[in-house]
Amino acid sequence: MDKTFNELCYACRVGDKENADRLASTGVNLNALDEFDNSPLFLASLCGHEEVVKLLLERGAVCDRDRYEGARCIYGALTDSIRDILLQYDISKAVDLNQPFVMHLSSLLKESAYQTHDICVTSLGSKQNKRLQLHKFILSTRSPGFPGEINFNGGKHCIEMPSSVSPTVLEIVTKFIYLVPVLHEIDAKDMNRLIDLSSLWGMSELKEFLEQVRHVLDPSEKSTMMAEYQYRITERAREQLCCFVNENILRNAVDAGNESSLQSQDLISMFNSSAFPDLVVVVENSHGLKRFYPCHLAILTRSNYFRIMFDLPLAENFTYKQFKAYQDMPPPTEIPIVSFPPCEFEVAELLLRYLYYDASEIPWQYAMDVLLLADHLLEDRLKSMAAVIITQSKDILEKYSIFQILYLGWETRMERLEHYAAKIVANDIQRYAEDPELKNAIMLSSRRISVRQETDSIEFVDDMRYYLLQKYAFEPDDIELLGEEDDEELLNASGISDYMKDNSTIDALLDELKLQA
């Protein structure tokens, strides 16, 4: 293992915050594992060093509650305060350069099968006349001072930068715009030109970083500064894309009632809007009303569902061939239209926010619908986010029954919801035993086994029995020992009587259903 990483792990174990800070700033992978499969965050959490936990989270350590390592950190936390910090930490805001939002935006700079770019930028003096293939909506969002030619409407356009903008400077700035880690590539000789260009194009974070780092000589201090600014740059990009979605996509959306298409004038207006769309997303809600959103193929390709759609001539009134034809023709060429699965407009907009900038703020009222839509669109990460909201909401059971949540968990293959439902039912088994829906759930669970033997276990029942043990803080061995007792006072005081009563209630339900498990 890397020596620096081992030193970081030791600092996390002993709670040496200053040393952990120094080591983290060297660029060591904070999410790697040591020889015992422990991450630095797990070690700090297990050993109770709250300030080190906070530091690691700020520096980019990821605590994804739906993954094994994240769950270990939370359940292994020494104190409740550390556990609360980890539970409240928003996984989508981790400063991890491998997070999907950053990775996807950076990947748009590379040649792709879809060629979603709509503007080419060249610089005088560039070798082999290299052209940067960019996107108007990203440039207008991330660099508001970019040359006015970006306002061209329709099709693809080319811009040639003046000789004052060298190819090297242009490439660095472009990488910065697309969130490619570039701060470590900046050469001192390009510093002044980069400061001037970042000021001209409205990139305040880059300008501020350059003006500060030019006076720093210590490598460790410089690395720390880079890590801090990379976080700020990522968060600023998220804020900018949030504003773009609000002001250019949602504000320019058009309600068309129950009409199947937009009026030509609405299409032209949408085409000429500041959203610079290259396709339109149409959503039909539960009342049969339709809303059209100006969107971008470059963003929708984050989803496996849409990648498949764009690769095949499906019935959604869109093919990649149509998209290419549209890109190369001026208005009022009809914009390609893509259909979302039927859902409420609010749910569709939550999905768009997630695709554009990894928004994870899902109101509990929509979490069930978001989960269903995310499952349809093959978005496992969004499914996990929605499932977390469902299981942590205090109000969800006022709108939905626990069995609706269970059935949705089965439908979307989210074990988190299955376990959540089993725990809720087990903790109040006497009340739920009176609900006919519990018998139905047990029967459905028994049928989920493809080839069931007479005495096979039933997953939902097994889960309930497991959470009954948790409810009374018992281990299986405790039941065997205490079950042999005949001292009624001891049985009542230990909780074994209540446990056996609840367990018997489950057995009675199984007998009534003629099931052996």
How many Å apart are CA 396 and CA 365, to the nearest integer? 7
Tokens of 374: 């995310």
Q: What is the pLDDT of residues 60-75, one digit of tens each?
A: 777 765 456 666 787 7
What is the CB neighbour count within 10 angstroms for residue 330? 9
Domains belonging to the chain, first-starting first, are: 3-89 (1.25.40.20), 102-232 (3.30.710.10), 252-365 (3.30.710), 401-512 (no CATH)
Q: Is the pTM of this model over 0.85?
A: no
Q: What are the Cα distances from residue 155, in Å, to 11, 330, 403, 472, 489?
A: 55, 6, 51, 66, 83
Alpha helices by DSSP H, 272-363? 297-300, 304-311, 320-327, 345-357
In 3-state terms, what secondary structure has residue 500?
A: helix
Residue ranges in the chain modelled with pLDDT below 50: 1, 66, 90-98, 314-320, 331-332, 452
pLDDT attached to residue 328? 53
Q: Is 318 in a helix, a strand, or coil?
A: coil
Amino acid at 485: E
Enumerate residues 6+ apart whose C-beta is below 8 A from 279: 295, 296, 297, 300, 318, 323, 326, 335, 336, 337, 338
